[in-house]
Amino acid sequence: MNGVIAAITLRQLLSRRRTVLLLLLGGLMILVALALRIGAEGANLPRFAAVLLETFGVATLMPLVALLFGTATIGAELEEGTAIYLLAKPVPRWVTLITKLVVAAVCSVALTCIPVLLAGQLAGGGQHGMVLAFTIAAAAGSLIYCAIFVALSLITSRALIFGLGYILIWEGVLAGLFAGTQTFSVRQHTLAIADTLTDAPTAIFSAPLELGTALVVGSAVVVLATSIAIRRLLLIEIAGETP
């Protein structure tokens, strides 16, 4: 971890526009939780809280936040041309990459887990330890997502779109249709972790994937994605503007 790179990356990621947009998203989740609290029948509240945490928290907020931070942490610098100042240094490339990944992950976790915690609590999901379970699971999920999107941003210049395709088509549509794809869905990994950490009955919330599979595949994905990212950063070629 390199402190200078971390500080610069943090300043870059938490730009005003990006932060405001993501805070708004988090705020929306809290508003929906409030609406649930007021409008839904008390008996069903835990189940709807689970739905909120699963549909808004894990399936919408977590991937969007991680996508924006993950593709920006190094992708934006490469596109803008400031990356050359970080790369023309005797700092080993893997240090640079890991630093940026960690900063992106920390930002993602912060802007995902805090709304999840607050909204989940507000919506009455406090029973069965669901809120805490989802918060922890979302932290893990954010990290896996960030690793994937950082690697993606070093592979293609359209990482944002392909990341969206992965989230919305692979995890959204296909994982619903073909059970096999669930093994490689970060969303399902996150839900599996949450399921294990909470003792909520199946009627309220359950995840199809087993914890073991989720942890093994999730960790493997992080390691693989980070390795690919480091390798690509090592070999990256930067031509001048006028070739």
Contact residues: other proteins, CB under 8 A? 2-5, 7-8, 11-12, 17-18, 21, 25, 28, 32, 35-36, 39-41, 44, 48, 51-52, 55-56, 59-60, 64, 67-68, 71-72, 76, 80-82, 84-93, 158, 160-161, 164-165, 168-169, 172-173, 234, 236-243
Contacts of 73 (CB under 8 A, 6+ apart): 9, 12, 13, 100, 101, 103, 104, 146, 150, 153
**Of 76 and 117, which CB lies nearer to other proteins in the complex structure?**
76
User: Considering the complex, what minimum distance in angstroms separates the CB of residue 216 from other proteins?
Assistant: 29
For other proteins, the closer CB: 110 or 174: 174
- Alpha carbon distance 71, 29 (integer Å): 23
CB of 69 to other proteins, least distance (A): 11
CA 47 to chain centroid, in Å, comes to 24
Cα-based distances in Å from 171 to 79, 185, 200, 239: 28, 6, 24, 36
Number of alpha carbons in the 13 Å side-chain half-sphere of residue 108: 36
Min dist. Cβ of residue 227 to other proteins (A): 17
Q: What is the nearest approach in angstroms of other proteins to the Cβ of residue 226?
A: 19
Which structure tokens are listed for 50?
């689970």
Q: For other proteins, which is the closer residue by CB, 46 or 218? A: 46
